[in-house]
Amino acid sequence: MPCPEISYFTENPYNDYDEIQRLVSDGFYSWRLDPIQTSIVVGVYRLGLKTDDTFTFVQTYQELGIQRAIVQAEHSEPNLCRYVFDLLQPVRQGTGGIWVVDSAALR
């Protein structure tokens, strides 16, 4: 059985990322501070992946002055399927900046 395709771009382009950053800075939604946790929340609640799937941090990098990260997810039922999440920090870069999923796709 082939792996299910997912095509996902930007969590919600109309989100007020400044407001989300403020909420996180005030102690809410702390999962937004970690690219792996952000990938898990989006992967499970929006893309149908499972909480017991394996999510692995691959790297961070800079692109046009924006901090970005790559996270890989492995979904093993019924076949081993790998997905790649591309995340970015839209408001504050580095420690304390929120992460959002820019795209996710079958690898």
For 15-71, the pLDDT digits (tens) are 789 999 999 999 999 999 999 999 999 999 888 889 999 999 999 999 999 999 999
Q: Which of 52-56, 75-79, 81-85 bottoms out in mean pLDDT, i.e. has the lowest?
A: 75-79
Q: Is the pLDDT of residue 4 over 90?
A: no
Residue type, 55: F
83-94: average pLDDT: 95
In this structure, are residues 86 and 68 in contact, taking their beta carbons and an 8 Å threshold?
yes
pLDDT at 3: 80
Give the residue carrying structure tokens 């900046």.
Answer: 97
**Could you tell me the pLDDT band of residue 77, with boundaries at 50, 70 and 90?**
confident
Q: What is the DSSP letter of 27?
A: T
Residue-wise over 36-70: b if at least 16 C-beta within 10 A, else e? bbbbbbbbbeebebeeebebeeeeeeeeeeebbbb
Q: What is the pTM of this model?
A: 0.89
Q: Reduce the DSSP state of residue 43 to 3 states and report it.
A: helix
Q: Name which of 30, 33, 37, 41 is nearest 8 in CA terms.
A: 41
> Which structure tokens are listed for 52?
């017991």
Side-chain-side CA neighbours of residue 95 (13 Å): 0
Pairwise CA distance, residues 81 & 93, whole Å: 31
pLDDT at 6: 77
**Could you tell me the pLDDT band of residue 101, with boundaries at 50, 70 and 90?**
very high
Pairwise CA distance, residues 42 & 17, whole Å: 16
